Structure 1
Amino acid sequence: MATYELVKAKAQAAKQAAAKLAVTSTAVKNAALLAMAAALEAQQSEILAANERDMTAAAAKGMKSSMLDRLKLTAERISGMADGLRQVAGLADPVGNVIDGKTLPNGLHITKIRVPLGVIGIIYEARPNVTADAAGLCLKSGNAVILKGGSEAMESNKTVAAILAQAAEGAGIPADSIQFIDTSDRQAVQDLIHMNGLVDVVIPRGGAGLIQAVVRNASVPVIETGAGVCHTYVDKDADVEMAMKIAFNAKVQRPSVCNAMETLLVHKDIADKFLPMMLMMYNSSAVEICGDEAVQEYSGQVHPVTEEDWSTEYGDLRLSVKIVDSIEEAMAHIAKYGTGHSECIVTNNYQAAQLFQYTVDAAAVYVNASTRFTDGNEFGFGAEIGISTQKLHARGPMALPELTSTKYLINGNGQVRK
């Protein structure tokens, strides 16, 4: 079957399933999520074998270590995927929630409720856990889902998706609610993002290249999940020990993810106290530092930073560092190079903290905490579909409510418009 016909067939099947899934009870959806979680754990060996095939192929192609880390599944990570599904089962169902309501002078009663979006296409790269997260969140919010993972994780994603779909259907979810596009043909993405009338929205998850390619080319509505050029600004009134702890965690704890810090900004008045020890900590963890001339004076191991570095999401143990003269300069740098994802200020100055939080334009703005917390699970939302950096419909970690739209229900007793 040609790629277009394959994608269209899956979209048509998902569209039919979506109509039934939209009115499926919360009890059935929750039972299905629990069955899906149990199936992942019960078929762990099958998933690990598939993942090993992906890992071997990726390593042979020279995939860098940070991306291999995203791709790799372990028993612990599969358990985490299952736990994520159980958490979603325990969350409130947004479908049917009453958002607003009123009775007009003419007697018409208007109620605004949450309803599913319909069919959601998820396009993502080498992270097999997204398969489970996306399927679970879409199912709970009453949406059929079409999954298009990266070719690097084809075997892992195909196996996980099949297990989830079988378990969900066995628990009463309409057949074809979970679709997986099992082809490595890049044309499949182009076909998916042009399935107007069958696909209601597409959500890209991955690097800046993937996201922008979808945003620029799609005719189907897109919810843009952002690349993460995240900053930590160490203010002149920061607690040095706290700042070191936060800046280290934000870069090193898991550098491959979108909420990891890519640029460290340091106020000139605290640089002497902070930077020598901070650079030593980074050096001990093999972090490559690219810094401006002022930063280079603190260590001979600092490479000259380029203009391109400031706007690069490294996704690796590499960091850009800049010394600034003021909080205003730090905020101007973030405004120029940031992607609207997550930004942090470390300071004990209340006025500086307030100025930073209300001035910096990002989905999540932190005071004295690592940017690594920008995550649906960490925010208490359960699994997430992605971090939205746009301003329409959804912003920040996208969980169940963000996967719904609204509908007005109007009840009358014979009113006609004059």
Structure 2
Amino acid sequence: MKASVRDSAILCQRAAVQVAALSTEARNALLCSMADALQAQVQAILAANAEDLRLAREKGIGEAMLDRLALDEGRVRGIADAVRQVAALPDPVGRVTHRERSEKGFTIERVRVPLGVIAMIYEARPNVTADAAALCLKAGNGVILRGGSEAVRSNRAIAACLHGAMRAAGVPEGALVLLDDLSREAMLELVQLSDIVDLVIPRGGEGLIRFVTEHARVPVIKHYKGVCHLYVDAQADLDKALDILVDGKTSRPAACNALETLLVHADVAATFLPRAVATLRERGVELLGDERTRALCPSMAPAGEDDFAAEFLSLKLAIGMVDSVDEAIAHIRRFGSDHTEVIATEDRGTADRFVQALRSAVVMVNASSRFSDGGELGLGAEIGISTTRLHWYGPMGAEALTIERFVLRGDGQVRHAESRR
């Protein structure tokens, strides 16, 4: 008999207490064992993934989703390596981030502690099963995973490896729950368990995130869509800008940190755009342009407002022309999703203006948007990229799955003299 969502969550809550009590060495050893198990069972994982891919193709699932779903030996090795990288990170649990001596004679500390139970709701990406588990356990939390139906076999195979390592280490398996019930009703129940679950992180399509946000009674951190921009300034090194553009759009177009919009300063448009268009088309990119862009490159299809707000997740790019960095900033503020923005410029003042004016989770100067990734930013892996301004913003690693609390260390101090007997 399958456990109910609530029963599974209660088990996770109890097990999380035990995970939080583990030493740094024990949690790190557990993660290394998990990584070893993933590599030892790579053929079982790939067999499960092949069946998921077969059924997904039969259902007509799009190429972007298939790319996120697909595993091979290299990707499984990358998943295991990410788990090891998480193990090698400094332990955030118990870290004192601030200490001062009060005039009252006691010491005030701010100390990082686990959040408790984290629910991760995601689609397609089976690597999230291992990434989320590793990050949550590293930070002393329990985790409830609710994957998508398209990756159910892959997720089960990965979770089986992780559970095997937990059993061998004597860590309660309840600290890592992979929900069997993938119904909308079960997900609704999960996000309303405000007495058990401490945080929900939805990671997937716009519809999934809206459903979770609208129905949750638990705090939600959204990994929202990535409408990522590159602005090529009048003072840009155009060779660098072209490399950044090509990498950002074509290296993995289904990733949330892929470029979706290119903005080009009018002063360099006549030089840069023909090169960019030719290079992108060689790589199969479909291009949409605003009126000014199409005047230079008339073979483009027209781009409307919906296109500039779109996360294509494919070899498709919207292009606009602007007259200043401020116009580029205004465009991004209007159409962006607070994910990742890039400027190509050799002018420090313009770069600083761009960085300071935008509130996106990640802002880059002369570097590809594809670096907006937990592994690339030193987090080992990421559970998501927060576009919600709660306790964390941007790529979320292990530290983002803890919070600060106050610890006072005194010697009998009281606030009011009349309290003394």
Instruction: State the TM-score, normalized to the length of structure 1.
Output: 0.97
Query: 1:109 deviation in Å?
Result: 2.7
Q: In the TM superposition, what whole-angstrom CA distance separates every residue of 1:341-377 from its partner, at most 9, and x where no partner exists?
A: 1101111122211111111221111111111101111
Among residues 334, 337, 341, which one is paired with 1:336 in the alignment?
A: 334
Gaps of 5+ in 2: 417-421
Q: Which residue in the other structure is 1:54 paired with?
A: 52
**2:250 paired with 1:286:** no
Gaps of 5+ in 1: none
Q: In the TM superposition, what whole-angstrom CA distance separates every residue of 1:194-224 from its partner, at most 9, and x where no partner exists?
A: 0111111111112222222222221001112
Q: Cα–Cα, structure 1 residues 105 and 352, in superposed 2: closer, same or farther, change >3 Å? A: closer
* Comparing 226-235 and 296-305, the one that deviates more: 296-305
Mapping of residues 16-27 of structure 1, within 5 Å: 16-27=14-25
Number of residues paired by the alignment? 416
Mapping of residues 319-330 of structure 1, within 5 Å: 319-330=317-328
Q: Which residue in the other structure is 2:380 paired with?
A: 382
Q: Which residue in the other structure is 2:306 paired with?
A: 308
Mapping of residues 227-238 of structure 1, within 5 Å: 227-238=225-236
Per the alignment, in what secondary structure is the counterpart of residue 35 of structure 2? Answer: helix
Q: In the TM superposition, what whole-angstrom CA distance separates every residue of 1:169-213 from its partner, at most 9, and x where no partner exists?
A: 312323311110122312222111101111111111122222222
Per the alignment, in what secondary structure is the counterpart of residue 91 of structure 2? Answer: coil
Mapping of residues 72-221 of structure 1, within 5 Å: 72-221=70-219
Mapping of residues 325-404 of structure 1, within 5 Å: 325-404=323-402
Q: Which residue in the other structure is 1:35 paired with?
A: 33
Does the 8 A contact of 2:146 with 2:182 survive in 1?
Answer: no
Query: 1:111 deviation in Å?
Result: 2.1
Q: Which residue in the other structure is 2:244 paired with?
A: 246
Q: In the TM superposition, what whole-angstrom CA distance separates every residue of 1:12-58 from its partner, at most 9, and x where no partner exists?
A: 11000011111111111111111101111111111111101110011
Per the alignment, in what secondary structure is the counterpart of residue 201 of structure 2? Answer: strand
Query: 1:316 deviation in Å?
Result: 0.8
Aligned counterparts of 1:106 and 1:378: Cα–Cα separation in 2: 44
Does the 8 A contact of 1:122 with 1:134 survive in 2?
Answer: yes
Q: Which residue in the other structure is 1:416 paired with?
A: 414
**Aligned letter for 2:370?**
R
**Aligned letter for 1:48?**
L
**Aligned letter for 1:113?**
V
Does the 8 A contact of 1:294 with 1:323 survive in 2?
Answer: yes
Query: 1:164 deviation in Å?
Result: 0.6
Q: Which residue in the other structure is 1:9 paired with?
A: 7
Query: 1:300 deviation in Å?
Result: 4.4
- Residue identity over aligned pairs, in percent, reads 48
Q: Which residue in the other structure is 2:419 paired with?
A: none
Q: In the TM superposition, what whole-angstrom CA distance separates every residue of 1:56-106 from its partner, at most 9, and x where no partner exists?
A: 011011111121111001010000000011111111111000112233333
Per the alignment, in what secondary structure is the counterpart of residue 4 of structure 2? Answer: helix
**Aligned letter for 1:91?**
L
Does the 8 A contact of 1:28 with 1:172 survive in 2?
Answer: no
Q: Cα–Cα, structure 1 residues 197 and 347, in superposed 2: closer, same or farther, change >3 Å? A: same
**Aligned letter for 2:389?**
K
Query: 1:413 deviation in Å?
Result: 3.0
Aligned counterparts of 2:299 and 2:30: Cα–Cα separation in 1: 54
Q: Cα–Cα, structure 1 residues 111 and 349, in superposed 2: closer, same or farther, change >3 Å? A: closer
Q: Which residue in the other structure is 1:67 paired with?
A: 65
**Aligned letter for 2:53?**
M
Q: In the TM superposition, what whole-angstrom CA distance separates every residue of 1:131-185 from its partner, at most 9, and x where no partner exists?
A: 1100000011000000011111011011111211221231232331111012231
Does the 8 A contact of 1:165 with 1:177 survive in 2?
Answer: no
Q: In the TM superposition, what whole-angstrom CA distance separates every residue of 1:244-277 from its partner, at most 9, and x where no partner exists?
A: 1111111111111111111000111111101111
Query: 1:231 deviation in Å?
Result: 0.3
* Comparing 107-116 and 144-153, the one that deviates more: 107-116
Query: 1:414 deviation in Å?
Result: 2.8
Mapping of residues 266-281 of structure 1, within 5 Å: 266-281=264-279
Query: 1:412 deviation in Å?
Result: 2.9
CA RMSD of aligned residues (A): 1.4
Per the alignment, in what secondary structure is the counterpart of residue 378 of structure 1? Answer: coil
Per the alignment, in what secondary structure is the counterpart of residue 119 of structure 2? Answer: strand
Query: 1:7 deviation in Å?
Result: 1.0
Aligned counterparts of 1:250 and 1:234: Cα–Cα separation in 2: 13
* Comparing 104-113 and 307-316, the one that deviates more: 104-113
Aligned counterparts of 1:242 and 1:417: Cα–Cα separation in 2: 62
Q: In the TM superposition, what whole-angstrom CA distance separates every residue of 1:115-140 from its partner, at most 9, and x where no partner exists?
A: 00000000111000011100000011
Per the alignment, in what secondary structure is the counterpart of residue 194 of structure 2? Answer: coil
Among residues 226, 235, 255, which one is paired with 2:253 in the alignment?
A: 255
Per the alignment, in what secondary structure is the counterpart of residue 290 of structure 1? Answer: strand
Does the 8 A contact of 1:32 with 1:172 survive in 2?
Answer: no
